A and B are shown apart, each in its own frame.
Chain A
Amino acid sequence: MLMHPKPIGLIACCGSECLGGYISRAVAASIVHQQRAGQVATISLPRLLIGTASEKKFSLNHPTITIDGCTKACARKAVEKYCFKPIVGVNIGELIGEQEALVTTEPNAFSTPQYLAELEKVSGIVTHVVDSLAAMYEKAKMAQNHSCDQGTCDCGCSGSSCECGCESGSRDMVHDDALHISGEHHVDGIVIYTKNGCPFCAKVLQEYKDKGIQFQEVNTSINVWAKKLCHDKYGSDKVPVVVKDGVVIQIGDNEGKG
């Protein structure tokens, strides 16, 4: 797995032409300077073009998430054009609605309940994406450092499927995976299958949380069996997949995007 030595990067379009652009900047600033201060790096988009050599290599050194305000996707395109492809591209139009994102902003709009609600919603989704990516890299780092076979694993897994990422743990998981895929492990209630860094998954999770609906999240990036289950049993190659009492009730977000 590709290992990144530096923190996750966040690049927002900061587009001033529409509401989506303002939200992109506000969300990125909030995460970088407040919610995940010290854990997430950022850079102003133009620095990829006119910055120092180090700045131009930003997405090469940081697993980068781009946040775009609209479908022009300027941030994602710029990162792809001038540096290294971002890990995840979040489009705010897909989260709050394309028309809403393209609304021309008024100076007094920033204190309205609607703006604050949308800001909180997008912020929650992007934070989830950041956290899931961070968890993925942390797991990869653990896998690199641990080896049960050599007796150097300090996770205490003893070869069981503790998800530490060590080889012994992975080997024992094969049997467990088979149980899940065959359907012997049946979970009642709502199960939402997700993957790391998926903004659509984060959006659906946020919506269920907001509505106060109890659910269990299963990350297909961590659990190989869940990915196979989604494909083999539920016929979906994309996530999120929402399953209620063993029956699929939703694939993708509300608009089917995943």
Chain B
Amino acid sequence: MLDKKAPVIIPCCGIDSVYGLMTQKIALQVATTAGKNTEILGLSYLVNGEIEAVQRITDTPCIIINGCFKECASNVVEIIGGDIAAEYAVDTLVAGFDMASLGDAVNLTQTGESQVGEIACSLIADVNNAIKGAQKC
């Protein structure tokens, strides 16, 4: 399934909380590190349901990064009929941390930045494993 096309990373739009900001930064780090293997697709592009956007994720494995339990990114991709290869929720991944210690919707603290790095590293490993087999981060 995953060898159809290079996967796309779809982060949520999260503007309400620190999780949304983390989601965006994680997606950027993963896409940058994975290089040609992945690209980011803005969720807002899919929200309209435009033909171009739908075609972009057709037969393409989607790596979804949600900020919170609302799982907006997963829900929108499901509605459009995208192929969800993996999905993550940042609030679950940082469950042991107090929200305030991570930062806010505008800025991340040192802890927040550190968590972004760790989660991104983990996701990069997953993405690479999905594409190439057992490649490590």
Contact = CB atoms under 8 A, between A and B. Distances in A.
Interface of A: 12-17, 21-22, 25-26, 28-30, 32-34, 42-50, 69, 72, 74-75, 77-78, 81, 105-107
A240 B11 CA distance: 37
Given A30-B106, A45-B43, A46-B43, A81 B48 contact: yes
B42 A49 contact: no
Contacts of A21: 42, 44
Given A16-B24, A44-B13, A78 B44 contact: yes
Contacts of B70: 47
14 contacts: A12-B13, A13-B13, A14-B13, A14-B20, A14-B24, A14-B42, A16-B24, A16-B27, A17-B41, A25-B24, A29-B15, A29-B21, A50-B76, A107-B28
Contact of A46 (B13, B27, B29, B104): B13
A235 B101 CA distance: 57
Given A46-B12, A49-B47, A107-B25, A33 B76 contact: no
A16 B20 CA distance: 12
B71 to A, nearest CB: 9
B32 interface: yes
A7 to B, nearest CB: 15
A34 B29 CA distance: 26
A15 B76 contact: no
A169 B86 CA distance: 63
A47 B25 contact: no
A210 B21 CA distance: 29
Given A29-B106, A50-B75, A44 B45 contact: no
A41 to B, nearest CB: 11
Contact of A16 (B11, B15, B75, B104): B11
